[in-house]
Amino acid sequence: MCGIVGYTGPRRAVPILLGGLAKLEYRGYDSAGIAVLEDGVIKVHKQAGKLAGLAERLQGYNGQARTGIGHTRWATHGRPSDTNAHPHSDCSGRFAVVHNGIIENYLELREWLGSQGHQFTSETDTEVLPHLVEHFYQGDLVEAVRRVVERIRGSYAMVVLSADKPDKLVAVRQDSPLVVGLGQGENFLASDIPALLAHTRRTYILDDGEMAVLTPEEVKIFNRCGEPVEKRVFEVKWEAAQAEKNGFAHFMLKEIHEQPRALRDTLKGRLAGDDSAVVLKELEIDDGKLRSLRKIFITACGTAYHAGLVGKYVIEQLARVPVEVDIASEFRYRQPLIDEGTLVIVISQSGETADTLAALREARRLGAPVLAVTNVVDSSIAREADHVLYTWAGPEIAVASTKAYTTQLVAMYLIALHLATVRGTITLEERRTIIKELKQLDSRAELILSNGHLIRDLARMYGGAEDVFFIGRGLDHAVALEGSLKLKEISYIHAEAYAAGELKHGTLALIEKGVPVVALATQKNLFEKTLSNIKEVKARDATVIALAMEGQKELEKVADHVLYIPPTNPVLAPVLAVIPLQLLAYQMAVVRGCDVDQPRNLAKSVTVE
């Protein structure tokens, strides 16, 4: 997820582009760049690192360009570097492009363009775009961009600047956000509204497949068939600061609501069209090696460790390989029994967590191949692992990890299904069933996110609690651990999670009148057992907030409150079950007036031991 901007009008473009990018830097900060049209020539200024570096370099730059484009990068294809920074140009330098998204078929396009004599300078998927414009351009920029769109697959918000069309910008949106800012005698483009608010509140929110053609005087919108579209003006009511959160009060709430998109993006291009298999091109471990695997270790910290616990259940259940899950700071010192039949999986949102990085190095020292599941391209863990599976959650700014966790769960399902397919431990029908349900996780998550009112009420009722217990069996226990961590880290309430069957061996002593117990009961084969554990805590006058799949009506007879999630395959339930727990923790923290996005004593990426 990157930030892009564009401007055409009577004012100097450079300060407007830099100002817009500064409002989008939370979307990615691996590199920054602008391209402006100066006396008929496109001038590109770009470099790796934060925007501040580029702004400093351009201080005193008094170019008179009136049209330009800009970009702040969240690296996906190609490490953060000056060369991989956007904007990218074609061979002649007559076209420059900024892009947010992923061009899935870029490798075949690169090969084809290469055979036509085009020279490439970067590792990015994006660079095929200006070369394609160059290939199709015959005097009509709009027509050239239309032909480019016919050839590319994937997600893209892109803006094209041409030396031949001084004050024109052509932009297209497909699966990545793009907004047009409507000015007086000038017009703007941006990935998100924060970049526009200093200039206008009148906007067009582009829909998928739409193209915008901007000049200072007018903005024309076309649909994917090239027909003109009458767009409704969207008048922005937000304050700039608020807009960065897209209207949400906190980044955490925004990121919770971004999960449907993050799930879709993490599955994109990784499921066979006929639901028969997962396609993990990036996983270059040969099938023979996977078949001869005797043991898997998963190691990580915090929320990522909790994702690993779900990974254990799913990989053992589907692929029948024994899995051990370790907290990274323990794994690295306990001389784990690793041999040539072992695979080590490390999970890390930031890709920079010191303990996890050290666990990775220890595993490699002991001779195990390491597969990293991470959300940051070219992070240290990505660079040092033998194989990398990226989650596409986009930048996660709130310290409390939410969307990264659910995308890590999806990564675990993809790995488990791939292993099970290679090892022949599940049938084609079983695979199809799970893959079909995987594809519906985003819409089911939307449903949960659309009715959070009960959770707000529960937060008001129990926000003053001093202790909260989470219980569950099997996969529900793994999710209960994540739910209690979320509550602890942002509301500072003492919260514990327990395997529901373990309570009676001690902790039940802590249960007394009014103590809230969040009980997860999403696993059909464990439902009856969990119900009896709920009755155990009710017998000690606990207040039970149960969480189950729609239809489990008998819970209403036992629990004080029941949160329902849409029915899904029990093995996939953790992705949906955690969302009400994220919202509950968030609302409890708000009720207690806590600094939700930057909780005390914590950091987003713990790069120290």
Please spell the DSSP secondary structure of 105-157, one letter per residue: THHHHHHHHHHTT----SS-STTHHHHHHHHH-SS-HHHHHHHHHHH--EEEE
Give 191: exposed, middle or buried? Use CB within 10 Å, 0-12, 13-18, 19+: buried
Minimum distance, C-beta of residue 355 to ligand AGP, in the bound complex (Å): 8
What six digits make up the tokens of 89?
């140009």
Q: What is the x/- site pattern for ligand AGP, positions 60-99, by CB under 6 A?
A: ----------------------------------------
The residues in 482-501 that bind ligand AGP, with binding defined as CB under 6 A, are: 489
Q: Which of 100, 356, 552, 587 binds ligand AGP (CB under 6 A)?
A: 356
- Per rule CB under 6 A, is residue 342 in the interface with ligand AGP? no
b/e burial code for range 27-46 (CB count within 10 A of at least 16 → b):
bbbbbbbbbbbbeeebbbbb
**Number of residues near ligand AGP (by CB under 6 A):** 15
Minimum distance, C-beta of residue 401 to ligand AGP, in the bound complex (Å): 4
* Dihedrals phi, psi of 90, to nearest 5 degrees: -90, -175
- Per rule CB under 6 A, is residue 350 in the interface with ligand AGP? yes
Q: Which of 84, 162, 187, 401 binds ligand AGP (CB under 6 A)?
A: 401
- Per rule CB under 6 A, is residue 406 in the interface with ligand AGP? no
What number of other Cβ atoms are within 10 A of residue 105's Cβ? Answer: 15
The angle at the Cα of 510, spanning 506 to 513, to the nearest 5 degrees, equals 140
- Considering the complex, state which of residue 183 and residue 302 has its C-beta at the smaller distance from ligand AGP: 302
What six digits make up the tokens of 298?
């998963």
Q: Which of 13, 18, 399, 548 binds ligand AGP (CB under 6 A)?
A: 399
- Per rule CB under 6 A, is residue 598 in the interface with ligand AGP? no
Using alpha carbons, select from 597, 541, 543, 550 the residue that is nearest to residue 573. Answer: 550
The catalytic position among 43, 220, 538, 604 is 604
The residues near 68 (Cβ < 8 Å, ≥ 6 apart) are: 6, 7, 13, 14, 17, 34, 35, 36, 37, 161
Is 301 noted as a catalytic residue in this protein?
A: no
- Per rule CB under 6 A, is residue 301 in the interface with ligand AGP? yes
What six digits make up the tokens of 207?
């829909």
- Considering the complex, state which of residue 124 and residue 380 has its C-beta at the smaller distance from ligand AGP: 380
- Considering the complex, state which of residue 137 and residue 305 has its C-beta at the smaller distance from ligand AGP: 305
Selected range binding ligand AGP among 61-69, 131-139, 155-163, 397-405, rule: CB under 6 A? 397-405
Selected range binding ligand AGP among 270-278, 297-305, 362-370, 530-538, rule: CB under 6 A? 297-305
Minimum distance, C-beta of residue 160 to ligand AGP, in the bound complex (Å): 36
Is 237 noted as a catalytic residue in this protein?
A: no
- Per rule CB under 6 A, is residue 388 in the interface with ligand AGP? no
Selected range binding ligand AGP among 123-131, 270-278, 288-296, 396-404, rule: CB under 6 A? 396-404
What six digits make up the tokens of 489?
């880290």
Give 551: exposed, middle or buried? Use CB within 10 Å, 0-12, 13-18, 19+: exposed
Using alpha carbons, select from 205, 198, 139 the residue that is nearest to residue 173. Answer: 205
Give yes or no for a contact between 451 and 499, defined as CB atoms under 8 angstroms apart. no
- Per rule CB under 6 A, is residue 255 in the interface with ligand AGP? no
- Per rule CB under 6 A, is residue 353 in the interface with ligand AGP? yes
Q: Which of 55, 304, 309, 573 binds ligand AGP (CB under 6 A)?
A: 304
Q: Are strands 187-190 and 3-8 parallel, antiparallel or unpaired?
A: antiparallel
The angle at the Cα of 589, spanning 307 to 594, to the nearest 5 degrees, equals 115
Minimum distance, C-beta of residue 584 to ligand AGP, in the bound complex (Å): 15
- Per rule CB under 6 A, is residue 349 in the interface with ligand AGP? yes
Minimum distance, C-beta of residue 472 to ligand AGP, in the bound complex (Å): 19
Active site residues: 2, 604
Binding stretches for ligand AGP (CB under 6 A) = 301-304, 348-350, 353, 356, 399-401, 489, 605-606
